[in-house]
A and B are shown apart, each in its own frame.
Chain A
Amino acid sequence: MEPLVRHKGKVACLNRVNVDTDQIIPKQFLKRIEKSGYDPFLFYDWRYLENGEINEQFELNQGEVQGASILVAGDNFGCGSSREHAVWALRDYGFRILLAPSFADIFYNNCFKNGVLPIRLNSDSWSKLAPYFKGEERWMTVDLERQEVEICEGMVLSFEIDPHRKQMLVEGLDDIGLTMRYQQYIEIYEKEQMAPYQRVYD
């Protein structure tokens, strides 16, 4: 995965609480066989009207947030089913950073497996933030190394993240990436320790 050390991006804001994974990606899109290409289905029922037209009211359909890579969301974001598809959809849409007062557990874990950084903000800073991102194009910078978010000049918030997960993102490692660090052991094993029956015979 692409390492995430410092990220500057456009901000979109979804001022709603308890956004569940069914809203993030409805179940009819779970039967796909791919792990990518989920961007058209993100927030499907909100993004489109029943007749399939774009819902002009929906936050992410506003002109000033097109191309956003940072999402500011409400409390308990990502609750509901464990589907990893929710993170895949957010990632494929272009989001790399999520900020919310809190995230659902499984969703939070799934983010790290896919190179997405979820930042927990205390509700105080969040309530100050949300209105700021309305109606105008806004940018912010996230510095994962220093664990800081620069909202605008002079306004910097710090955040907590456990060191192991931080390292995974900073180095662009996923579970497989981590195991790859043991590659030398795997190679030694293959060379020296494998028994005859572990081989393949044709």
Chain B
Amino acid sequence: MGSTLFEKIWNQHRVYQSDDGQSLLYVDLHLVHEVTSPQAFEGLRMAGRSMRRLDLTFATMDHNIPTDNPFVVHDPIAKRQIDALTDNCREFRVPLADLSSAEQGIVHVIGPELGLTLPGKTIVCGDSHTATHGAFGALAFGVGTSEVEHVLATQCLWQSKPKTLQVQLNGKLAPGVAAKDVILGLIAAHGIRFGTGYVIEYTGSAIPFLSMEERMTICNMSIEAGARAGLIAPDGITFAYLKGRAHAPKGVEWEKCLDDWKKLKTDVDASYDKTVVMDVSLLSPQLTWGTNPGMGGSVEGVVPHPSEYADEAQRFAVSEALQYMGLTPGTKFTDISVQHVFIGSCTNGRIEDLRVAATVVKNRKVAPGVRALVVPGSKGVKRQAEAEGLDEVFLQAGFEWREPGCSMCLGMNPDIVPPGQRCAATSNRNFEGRQGRGARTHLLSPAMAAAAAIAGHFVDIRQWELEQTGGVAHGTIGPA
């Protein structure tokens, strides 16, 4: 019997298999950021240990840096974490994209952008959205601080083998429907736990139509379905994206790697532990109304009533969520007004996301009373967007154009939503308090978020006439 893509990567990276079923896995790329690394470096220092592979480690700062002026950090705790990363990287000689670096950005945006993320690699980071890198056919997952230390010291991790889940995405997305709608629709349909204990592989006839950016959006939110990792087999689109990137192999090496990468797909006679199928051509734009990513639905719908749910616990959870969100059952989604709009994050802060959003806001104005923010995912994305004049489009419409970082995705920096206010966000989590205490978050695609900023309430983007600003075609290559 053949192997799945996941099994191929897993087997290739197994350094040792112990009797109790644990595998010692080799880590090809360890991404480090300021929040989850200080105690790990300190642990090394205390034990007098050195780092095993400096060349397989790369650090950046993203989570708590201010996006107005990154160099002025008012929060003393954030400042200490940023300074600690700088000092640790200097002491241990870890390559660091710091605030003055042209490569700095959200860890999951810069990995692919710099060509550090490559097919077939194992990639870890002290951050749960590491699954993003799976879009390249890499096995990528988040780890805790003690595991960060373990990888720094040994370049390995003990893991027990997860099960495999195939998510088959068939059909072609309708105009106005985005990759974000695929993953939100999937989680709304199957719940936030259907991937628990599994590594997802996204397959199906929809994949060849998806750009790398779109694939990253989908893999990014695998964790919201409970899976630690999500994978897509690399293909021509993957290779075209990677070719020529700063850290990607070149020349003969590139050809050698390409030969390997082409074998990275699930064999026809391999089997998955579980399969879920979705016809993406039937999808409408999605948005969440509740306090977890599974509490969402199609934009043409209404806020549900708790009594629609069969199960008592669910009824309770829904009524709690609606209370927190300040929503009345039966309200049309398109009648809900927003005060904040956030376009950014490792889910939707890439160049294509900004292009699509710019198409929506071009020659339009942000509604009065709405504060709208565009936070590019990296310096590279920002440069590219500015080269295309997207910053001007946003600024003229009344958006704020910020410096790269995680920003309002988790509100660890000063970008937060005040209590009771509503935010249309392109990020990945709508938990209570995620964007600030009492903040009400609705997750949606960049086009839908941009439209909400203009209208002042949610709208069905399919009903808007859009001017093309160019370069929005599927499969576009991002910044080099």
Encoded as 1 (CB less than 8 Å from any B CB) or 0, chain A from 143 to 180 comes to 00000000000000000000000000000001111011
Contact of A33 among B49, B80, B119 (CB under 8 A): B80
**Contact residues of B between 13 and 44, Cβ < 8 Å to A:** 15-16, 24, 26, 28, 38-39, 42-43
- In whole Å, how far is A2's beta carbon from the nearest beta carbon of chain B? 10
Given contacts A182-B15, A197-B119, A198-B28, contact A35 B39 (CB under 8 A): yes
Chain A contacts of B121 at CB under 8 A? 197-198
CA A194 to CA B156, docked complex, whole Å: 13
Q: Is the CB of B16 within 8 A of A182?
A: yes
Inter-subunit contact A197/B120 (CB<8 Å): yes
Query: With A185-B15, A200-B55 in contact, is A33–B81 under 8 Å at CB?
Result: yes
Q: Nearest Cβ in chain B — how far from A187, in angstroms?
A: 10
CA distance A70 to B478 in the complex (A): 60
> Which one of B147-155, B272-280, B291-299 contacts A?
B147-155
A53 at the interface (CB under 8 A from B): no
Query: Number of B residues whose C-beta is below 8 Å from A?
Result: 43
Q: How far is the CA of A198 from the CA of B257 in the complex (A)?
A: 9
Segment with Cβ contacts to A, from B171-179, B247-255, B382-390, B416-424: B247-255
The answer to whether A34 touches B39 (Cβ under 8 A) is: yes
Given A185-B15, A196-B257, decide whether A35 and B46 contact each other with a Cβ distance below 8 A: yes
Residues of A within 8 A of B43 (CB): 35
B145 to chain A, nearest CB (A): 9
Contact with A along B82-117 (1 / 0, CB 8 A): 001000000000000000000000000000000100
Would you give the shortest CB distance from B160 to chain A, in whole angstroms? 15
Q: Which residue of A lies closest to B257 (CB)?
A: A197
Closest residue of chain A to B35 (Cβ to Cβ) is A33
Given the known A-B contacts A33-B39, A185-B24, are A176 and B47 also in contact in the complex, defined by CB atoms under 8 Å?
Answer: yes
Q: Is the CB of B26 within 8 A of A34?
A: no
Contact A179–B249 (Cβ < 8 Å): no
Q: Is A186 an interface residue (CB 8 A)?
A: yes
Please indicate which of the listed interface residues A176, A177, A186 has the most CB atoms of chain B within 10 Å of its own CB. A176
Given known A176-B49, A197-B118, contact A33–B26 (CB-CB < 8 A): no
Size bracket of the A interface: 20 to 34
Identify the closest chain A residue to B38 (Cβ): A33
A189 contact from B26, B42, B257, Cβ within 8 A: B26
Q: Which of B16, B28, B250, B260 contacts A201 (CB 8 A)?
A: B250
Question: Once the chains are docked, how many angstroms separate the CA of A128 from the CA of B81?
Answer: 48
Complex: A50 Cα to B15 Cα, angstroms: 54
Interface residues of A in 106-120 (CB under 8 A from B): 113
The answer to whether B253 and A34 have CB atoms under 8 Å apart is no
B158 within 8 A of partner (CB): yes
B474 at the interface (CB under 8 A from A): no
Total A-B pairs in contact (CB under 8 Å)?
Answer: 90
Contacts of A185 in B (CB 8 A): 15-16, 24
- For the complex, give the distance between the alpha carbons of A102 and B4 in Å: 47
CB distance from B61 to the nearest CB of A (A): 13
B42 partner, pick from A36, A183, A194, A198, beta carbons under 8 A? A36
B56 & A200 in contact (Cβ 8 Å cutoff): yes
C-alpha spacing A58/B156, complex, angstroms: 45
Is the pair B55, A35 in contact by a Cβ cutoff of 8 Å? no
Instruction: Report if A1 contacts B (CB, 8 A).
Output: yes
Known: A189-B15, A197-B261. A182 touches B42 (CB 8 A): no
Which residues on A sit within 8 Å (CB–CB) of B12?
A: 193, 195
Cβ proximity bits A15-53 to B, threshold 8 Å, 1 near / 0 not: 000000000000000010111100000000000000000
Q: How far is the CA of A192 from the CA of B216 in the complex (A)?
A: 32
> Given known contacts A197-B249, A197-B257, A197-B261, is B154 in contact with A179 (CB within 8 Å)?
yes
Nearest neighbor of A183 in chain B, beta-carbon distance: B154
Let me know if A124 is at the binding interface, CB within 8 A: no
Please give, as numbers and ranges, the residues of chain B lying within 8 Å of A197 by CB-CB distance: 28, 118-121, 249, 257, 260-261
Q: Is B193 an interface residue (CB 8 A)?
A: no
A175 touches B150 (CB 8 A): yes
Give Cα A185 to B158, complex, Å: 13
Measured in the bound complex, the distance between the Cα atoms of B84 and A34 in whole Å is 9
Q: Pick the contact of A34: B28, B38, B49, B256 (CB < 8 A).
A: B38
Residues on the B chain within 8 Å of A202, using CB: 246-247
* Cα-based distance from A146 to B146 in the complex (angstroms): 31
Query: Does residue B77 face the partner (Cβ distance < 8 Å to A)?
Result: yes
Interchain CB contact (< 8 A) of A196 among B38, B42, B149, B249: B249
Question: What 4 A-B pairs are tightest by C-beta distance, nearest first?
Answer: A33-B38, A35-B42, A35-B39, A197-B257
The 27 listed contacts between A and B (C-beta, < 8 Å) are A34-B39, A35-B39, A113-B146, A174-B47, A175-B150, A176-B49, A176-B150, A176-B153, A177-B47, A179-B154, A182-B156, A183-B154, A186-B26, A186-B52, A195-B260, A196-B249, A197-B28, A197-B118, A197-B119, A197-B120, A197-B121, A197-B249, A197-B260, A200-B55, A201-B115, A201-B250, A202-B247
Extra 11 A-B pairs, beta carbons < 8 Å, given A33-B80, A36-B46, A196-B253: A31-B77, A35-B38, A35-B46, A175-B146, A176-B47, A176-B153, A185-B24, A195-B12, A196-B249, A197-B121, A198-B121
